[in-house]
Structures are given as C-alpha cells and as structure tokens.
Amino acid sequence: MKKILLPTLALLLALAPTAASADDLIREPYLQLGNAPLFGYPGAETDQIRVMWQSSNRDVNQFDAYYRESGDLLWTAIPDIESEDVASGRFNFSVTIDQLSYDNTYEYRIDAPGQTFQSSFRTRLDPADTSPFTFAAYGDSLDPDHAGDFDDVVAQINRSDADFAVLLGDNAYDHGTHHDFDARFDPAASPAAVEWMSGHVDYAGVGNHEMDTDKGQPFRSTYANPIPKAGVNAHAEPSADFYPEHNFSFDYGM
C-alpha cells in the first residue's frame, strides 16, 4: 500500500475543484458588445456579441456554450470559454461570438450545472444602413433597497421597441461594489432587467459612484466595453491616465 502524507493529501484536496451546482451561479448569462472595432477598421466587416455570466465556482469545464442563426436546427459549439477571477469568490465566464451578419437574429445557449439558459438577440445595423432605430438612455438607475422601482423602469423598456440601452453612469448605488451590481442581475428582485440583458446590450458609462470601489473595478468586471486603440480599432484612445473601458465608442448603423 502506498503511503500519502497528510499534508500532501490536504494540498491535493484544496486544489481539487469542488462539484458544481446550480447554486453556484451568481449572474445569469447576459449580453455585451465586447471589444468590437469601429466601422472602417479590420474586423468590422461583420458583427460580434459577447455573452457573460458569473459563478462562485472557478471550474470552466462545468459550462458548454452554443449559438445558431435563428431558424437553424443545429447548434454550433463555442469551444473557447474565457474565465477571469474578478474578486474573492467571483469568477466571470464569457464567450465571444464573431463573424455574425449585421441586422440578423441569432440564438445562444449556455449549459450550466442543473440548468440551461437560452435567448436570442439581433445584431447591430450595418454601417451603410440608414434605417431608423430606437434606444433607451437612463442613469442613476439602481439602489438595491429600491430594486423594484428600477425593475419597473426596465419593464417599460422591455415593452418598447428599443434596440439597446445606454447607461449614463451611477448604475449601482451606493458605491458600485460587486454586491451593488448584483441587484441588476437578481431574477427575483429584477426579473425584467434579467430578461432585458439576456437579449439586449447595455452600453454602460461609468459614474462617480462606480469609481468609489477600486477605481471602478466592479464596473469593468460587469461590462465589456470596447477598448480603443488609435489606428487599430478606433480613431483615438484615452491617455494612460484613464481606463480605456471608461472612454469608448461604438457604432450602430449610419
């Protein structure tokens, strides 16, 4: 019989991933644009979307991701699921779906332990498309103690024909912590918001309340904005004194 020293066994147990469960999920899958180039730069010939979710379990192998064009029967597997340790006990997972046709409808599916999430979205208008479009814009939008009022606002947006939303800052009171942001993703407290974010992009601007915590780190972990690089994917970029995710541009139609 082979002997294993107790300290070695303890280390092995500590490193072993714990069994995943549905209770591990902190934030259900939602949409962001991700680091998309502006029109006219390489990669902008087609559209993209980023699907994000958050778990307390670090094991990336617990998830499977798929997408398909609306109306197709077969799903296409997305092999590369990215993971990021964003805070104590929080792990972000995401997939970027690229080479999508503009102004087209797609579906995505995330298989998680004990549950499956599926939703659809419409890509942006082509840069040459002069069609009118509608978007919602609002700020100072969420106090966890009044999540119901916030959800009522998003419910109204859901009933509109808005294609996306622009968040004008102060998106999580009081201090833009991870916990403050969680109220936006709570299916019990904010069901309309969870429904909206599963199929639409919130383009988020940072406010002073978000900057209260680690200079906006929870904000940057929650939203995946374009990261401008002058001459590469954007016309200009902020100076080194500013976070690029706080100063970005995106295109939608002409």
- Domains annotated on the chain, with CATH: 23-124 (2.60.40.10), 133-223 (no CATH)
Do residues 182 and 143 lie in contact, with contact meaning Cβ atoms separated by under 8 Å? no
Q: How confident is the model at residue 19 (pLDDT cuts 50, 70, 90)?
A: low
What residues have CB less than 8 Å from 5, skipping those under 6 apart? none
30: number of Cβ within 10 Å: 25
Rg of the chain taking only CA atoms, in angstroms: 20
What is residue 8's predicted lDDT score, i.e. its pLDDT?
A: 46
Residues 29-71: pLDDT tens digits? 999 999 999 999 999 999 999 999 999 999 999 999 999 999 9
Angle between helices 147-159 and 191-199 (to 10 degrees): 40
Do residues 143 and 150 lie in contact, with contact meaning Cβ atoms separated by under 8 Å? yes
Residues 116-165: pLDDT tens digits? 999 999 999 998 999 999 999 999 988 888 888 999 999 999 999 999 99
What is residue 17's predicted lDDT score, i.e. its pLDDT?
A: 54
Q: How confident is the model at residue 18 (pLDDT cuts 50, 70, 90)?
A: low
Sole residue written with tokens 């597997």: 77
Which phi and psi angles does 236 have, rounded to 5°? Answer: -150, 170
Q: In the predicted model, is pLDDT for residue 22 greater than 80? A: no
Residues 170-192: pLDDT tens digits? 998 999 999 999 999 999 999 99
What is the phi-psi region of residue 253: left when phi exceeds 0, alpha when psi lies from -120 to 50, beta otherwise?
left
| Element containing residue 179 per DSSP (H, E) | helix 178-182
What is residue 26's predicted lDDT score, i.e. its pLDDT?
A: 96
Residues 216, 197: Cα–Cα separation, whole Å: 21
Among 10-14, 87-91, 114-118, the minimum mean pLDDT is found in: 10-14
Q: How confident is the model at residue 5 (pLDDT cuts 50, 70, 90)?
A: very low
Residues 197-224: pLDDT tens digits? 999 999 999 999 998 899 999 999 999 9
Segments of 33-75 assigned E as strands: 47-55, 64-69
What is residue 244's predicted lDDT score, i.e. its pLDDT?
A: 86
Q: 3-state DSSP call for residue 86?
A: strand
pTM of the model: 0.90
Q: List residues bridging with 116 in a β-sheet.
A: 111
Comparing C-alpha atoms, which of 198, 196, 216 is closest to residue 206? 216
Residues 112, 118: Cα–Cα separation, whole Å: 11
Average pLDDT over residues 9-36: 75
What residues have CB less than 8 Å from 97, skipping those under 6 apart? 48, 49, 50, 51, 67, 78, 106, 108
